[in-house]
Chain A
């Protein structure tokens, strides 16, 4: 659509300029007019000059973007008034018809997918270019994430972990989006995206150590469980306050842009978090600063107990992109292949065209919000069951790779039991590993510990010796 828009706007501008050449000299808003035409001409026409290896996606993407061409369906008749307004952003034509833009389109924005519910490739989607190796790794990681979630959740129920939160139902978004990125792309996750770390090579022991906040935790035992982070893997440490990562992602993307890196920032967020002010700030900054950032919104229907019908009245998240001037797509978050295609293409566009892209992935939070939540208090069991079974993203992808002859039942059984054993082993190790030392309570508040903290550390150490019963025995002095 942006391609279409860009082209058509250029055409309109040219014809207007021919008709009203005097504007060019006399228009008071000339600078804006020139900036708009220069930005038009600097826009790389897509996909014509794309030398990307992802060319095979073009058909499909182009089809879906055409379907989204919402301006086509807005109820404006062509203007017959020639005194068009030269206004920052481009010419605005006049109309004598008083027309309000409707609050929504008649048809909801369609959802891009390539695998049907049974895992069969939809006719017309020329997209089976994913290699066997990548497909198997995607599946392997989705299963690993499932098993991790099951074991860790149980461990929390047994009181062995203080807190946990599953990604159940959102395995495809987690893993397939990660697979579509490169290790140089910088990840800013919300919290339900541990699969991205898994894909990048975070080990099961590394996950477990964070959950226990033991000596192996890179966060030094300071944050709640599931607040992972890895400098090595370009995964910025999770922060609980929602949506704060979105404008930050734009700053990171801007730096990548200035350094001419072949990389983008990727910010994940939830449907609930999209209501925060920082969501607005992030998207608007990204558009204005032409930052190579991909926003991935996991629209899973719920923000704790709040249904999306109480969260927004737009057609989900995808339509918000256009208001900011951001190219956007809605994708079936439970179709790993579609997620992979959409994110690969989004990444390619973000980097080659130096622009933000918004991806809304429709999915469902199959688990409780966290171990502190009981979601049966506010949503019907049948709804959960439906998404857990009929719309299960892992099963759907398995069907596809099995049909391709890339996976077997035997491998399935072996994989699951092997991962389970490995996770249980990491728990045994993680539980026994000592906590970070007292010094880690005071370090990293600043680069260098100031005197007030040095004094407090000294006092605390004395207290710990005097009253050992007040302090955990597994925190070494």
Chain B
């Protein structure tokens, strides 16, 4: 699969209020002192970040399947022309090779920015990530590390991707001490978080919401900037219930918050951004205020990262909670084609859950 606006057609049918307002709703405050920014979509913001990464560090490399001509989602467009084929190149079609190679490159003090064409295809590299990248530093007593490693992969629903072009495998990697997992929600966030991930001295798995590659547009500063990892952000303040999410699901949750507000429920929405190590304090502070928590993600509910958040917050806020922690997530089935709209944690499912949690 490649890209194409047409693929979003179906999803738009059942996200009636659309996503075009995403930028405004989610505007971040990082660049207040900078010259006005132009509007870009998410894949262009990623592309900018990669340009900056290669430009600012002569030891940075970008590689993966089909990245030479710009990648199937166009994120690496123009990089090979600009920085040459020794720094931006196609690899043979082998994910374990891509990540293993990247670990070695990173271990020599380089920034290895590897692309896995779809998150669904990261599993052949699972061993390299879980047993190698994550433990490279620890097992050597910090003699060696592969901190310069960043693995980018498009994840999540896309309208008709079905089993193998839609998965959200973030929870697998959240179970691996030594890795960081980062997921941006919008173009501006994507650029700043990707640059931080690339420059972070730890291996990072960076999942890009492919549903938003073209659809999400907002003002993105053209200069080099970084957004902090492991810092969640309250992107909508409220007093009755805390909602926690990441990536593309935040736009669905935002719609639910708006609808809930019409019914007099004030929702606080938090973008977790970094899933491990995650910012418990921000979530805890919010739940202490609202007394209720709802987590939503596209990945199947069972064993999803929502379970970890729920458990941690129950540990910390048990006496403050006024209702059970709610999870609105993907179903415990593989990601289906025709049934995608049924599988998804839709706005109305989130909305119903907000209401039942508040009215518990």
Contacts and interface: CB of A to CB of B under 8 A. Distances in A.
Interface string A220-257: 01111001000000000001111000000000000000
Nearest to A165: B1
A223 B162 contact: yes
A240 B4 CA distance: 19
Interface in A429-470: 435-436, 438, 440-442, 445, 452-453, 456, 460, 463-464, 466-467, 469-470
A440 B333 CA distance: 11
Contact of A163 (B1, B348, B349): B1
Given A159-B6, A277-B94, A224 B164 contact: yes
B342 A372 contact: no
B72 A304 contact: yes
A43 interface: no
Interface centre among B2, B68, B160, B334 (most CB of A within 10 A): B2
B163 interface: yes
Contacts of B124: 241, 276-278
Nearest to A274: B93
Contact of B65 (A159, A224, A306): A306
Nearest to A278: B124
A469 B121 CA distance: 33
Contact of A453 (B2, B4, B161, B333): B333
A213 B92 contact: no
Contacts of A452: 302, 332
Interface string B330-348: 0111101111011100111
Nearest to B346: A470
B interface secondary structure, majority: loop
B342 A305 contact: no
B172 interface: no
Contacts of A469: 14, 16
B120 interface: yes
Interface residues of A, number: 52
B338 A224 contact: no
B123 interface: yes
Given A224-B165, A277-B124, A470 B336 contact: no
B336 A441 contact: yes
A449 to B, nearest CB: 10
Nearest to B16: A469
Contacts of A315: none
A470 B17 CA distance: 12
Given A372-B3, A452-B332, A222 B66 contact: no
Classify chain B's interface size: 35 or more
A184 interface: no
B342 to A, nearest CB: 6
Interface in A325-382: 369-370, 372-373, 377-378
A303 interface: yes
21 contacts: A162-B337, A213-B337, A213-B338, A222-B339, A224-B165, A224-B337, A241-B164, A242-B93, A275-B93, A276-B95, A277-B94, A304-B65, A306-B66, A372-B2, A373-B72, A378-B69, A435-B338, A445-B332, A466-B348, A467-B348, A475-B342
B26 to A, nearest CB: 23
B331 A306 contact: no
B195 to A, nearest CB: 26
A386 B299 CA distance: 46
Contacts of B4: 372
B97 interface: yes
B347 to A, nearest CB: 8
A213 B95 CA distance: 30
A438 B97 CA distance: 40
Interface of B: 1-4, 6-7, 10, 14, 16, 65-66, 68-70, 72, 89-97, 120-121, 123-124, 160-165, 302, 331-334, 336-339, 341-343, 346-349, 352
Contacts of A310: 68, 89-92
Nearest to A368: B2
Given A452-B332, A463-B349, A276 B93 contact: yes
A440 B339 CA distance: 9
The winner among B65, B70, B337, B352 for most chain A CB atoms within 10 A is: B337
Contact of A441 (B93, B95, B123, B342): B342
Contact of B14 (A306, A438, A442, A471): A471
A53 interface: no
Nearest to A313: B92
A311 interface: yes
A276 B125 CA distance: 11
Q: Which of A224, A242, A369, A435 has the most CB of B within 10 A?
A: A224
A248 B66 CA distance: 27
Given A305-B69, A445-B334, A452-B332, A370 B2 contact: yes
A312 interface: yes
B339 A441 contact: yes
Contacts of B66: 304-306
B81 to A, nearest CB: 13
A383 B38 CA distance: 40
A239 B93 CA distance: 16
A311 B339 contact: no
Contact of A372 (B72, B164, B352): B72
A162 B2 contact: no
Interface in A103-148: none
A460 to B, nearest CB: 6
Contacts of B16: 469
B69 A377 contact: yes
Contacts of B342: 438, 441, 460, 464, 471, 475
